[in-house]
Structure 1
Amino acid sequence: MRSISLALFLLAAFPVLAATPEELSAWDAQYEQKRGDAAAVKQLDESLKKALEATPDDYEVLWRAARIRNWQADGTTDAKVKKSLGKQVWELGDRARKVAPDRVEGHYFAALGIGAYSEAVGILSALGEGLESKYNERLDAALKIDGMYGRGGPLLAKGRYFYKLPWPKRDLGKSTSHFQKALSKHPETLRGWLYLAETLLADGEEKKAHEAILKVTQGSVGYDPAEGRRVQEWAKPVQAAIEEKLK
């Protein structure tokens, strides 16, 4: 009882402070400007992990921790690593959305975490685990709050959902529609053009797919250098597949 009383006294006397605006700005700058460097990503991840240990319910730290883990999950081809990171993003996003259900970030990153986890275990396995409804619950909430968050991120995720689903759930028309809606506001987003190109190719629209993929390969990465360079690398085999179809 004494130890509990002492702990409560210490918490009252020395309350744990949330992350400062300066810390948040520094983390955002590091994410935007340096996440193409593995060492910088590790450093940022560790900083956010320590911040969460001190303030586990700080919304601003929770969603930023989910964001950097999602960046890592998005970039790995190792299924085991992607599964682990995806689950972490999912859990961090869920914690964030419980703290602030009216904010978009928690819902959005929770959905992306489920998506990464599903890719790692396989879409059919994910459907068997009942993850489709969980994914849509979170993503649809993000779309309702702000579909254009993160340069149309929720719209891109929904379009990718319709592309990734197996037949007969797959809907390439809806996939295209979501990508076009995001790109109408954010034409600089190379990921949107890449996803659109892949959907158009799957839909037998090789010429339109070629036009879309050129937006990626010839586009500027200035809007987000780390993201842009990553997507341009992903675009190379897609462009080759499109050009093969056009022969």
Structure 2
Amino acid sequence: MRSISLALFVLLALPALAATPEELSAWDALYARRGDAAAVKQLDEALQKALAATPEDYEVLWRAARLRQWQADGTSDSKAKKSLGKQTWELGDRARKVAPERVEGQYFAALGIGGYSQAVGIVTALGEGLEGKYNERLDAALKIDPMYERGGPLLAKGRYYYELPWPKRDLKKSASFYQKAIAKHPEQLRAWLFLAETLLADGEEKQAHEAILKVTQGSVGYDPAEGQRVQGWAKKVQAAIEEELK
């Protein structure tokens, strides 16, 4: 009886095995197919199971945050965006606690705060003191790897300056961050979309029209799910630009 108890104790004391390279590769392949709801469901279930087994595995944590960010980014329901944004933020923070020197945790934690802030309203988020928390994480990501996710941290910083209320809003500075990302990754359709919106808001309709055509006529081959989502959003922006050009 004592030997059985001792064996059980030894098993419980052993650290949980981290995700294998094969599992990580399979999850990334599912994420690449995230335009398919079935792939998202399968990935979500796999990551939740992995999180339960190894709650401090960095590779699992940031991938779970990435998936929640994709879901938050794609919903127009403020209640869902608030919940998904908070989950992204929390998973990102758990990841950055494990490996603060890695970009993924810092980046997705910042995006989670951004999504949460959009859901509750930017003015409310500023009142909750989230601006400093957002910039702390995003600035860390920018310092580690500004070109992560084809300039993702640069886009997030540009969007920050775009969405701030007056007098904090700075459209010129917003555009400059998108242009830095585009210089390195001209295939990045989200950068062109954000640039078009910023130029339109800044009264540069002709330049905005040139930028939006880069989206509508661009290839989605670099990331089909992302590209198709952005091209869907671009229709409304293009209509707004063309209305201003009349």
Query: TM-score, normalised to structure 1's length?
Result: 0.96
Q: Distance in 2 between matches of 1:92 and 1:5?
A: 35
Amino acid of the residue matched to residue 20 of structure 1? Answer: T
Q: Structure 1 residue 15: deviation in Å?
A: 3.5
Q: Which runs of 5+ in 2 are unaligned?
A: none
CA separation in 2, counterparts of 1:221 and 1:27? 21
Which residue of structure 1 lines up, in the alignment, with residue 12 of structure 2?
11
Distance 1:127 1:181 in 2: 27
Deviations 1:150-207 (A, max 9, x none): 0000000000000000000000011000000000000000000000000000000000
**Helix, strand or coil: the match of 2:35?**
coil
The letter for the 2-side match of 1:43 is: Q
State the alpha-carbon separation in 2 of the partners of residues 7 and 48 from structure 1. 27
Inter-partner Cα distance in structure 1 for 2:125 and 2:8: 43
Q: How far has the Cα of 1:90 moved from its partner?
A: 0.1
Superposed counterparts of 1:26-175, under 5 Å: 26-32=26-32, 34-175=33-174
* Residue 238 of structure 2 is aligned to residue 232 of structure 1: no
Deviation for aligned residue 1:46 = 1.1
For residues 92-136 of structure 1, the C-alpha deviation after alignment (integer angstroms, 9 at most, x for no partner) is 000000100100000000000000000000001100100000000
The number of equivalent residue pairs is: 243
Q: Which amino acid aligns with 2:11?
A: L
TM-score after normalising by structure 2: 0.96
Give the whole-Å Cα distance in 1 for the aligned partners of 2:44 and 2:154.
Answer: 26
Alpha-carbon shift at residue 7 of structure 1 (Å): 6.5
Identity %: 81
Whole-Å separation in 1 of the counterparts to 2:194 and 2:203: 15
The structural deviation recorded for 1:59 is: 0.2
Structure 1 CA distance for aligned equivalents of residues 91 and 8 of structure 2: 26
* Gap regions ≥5 residues in structure 1: none
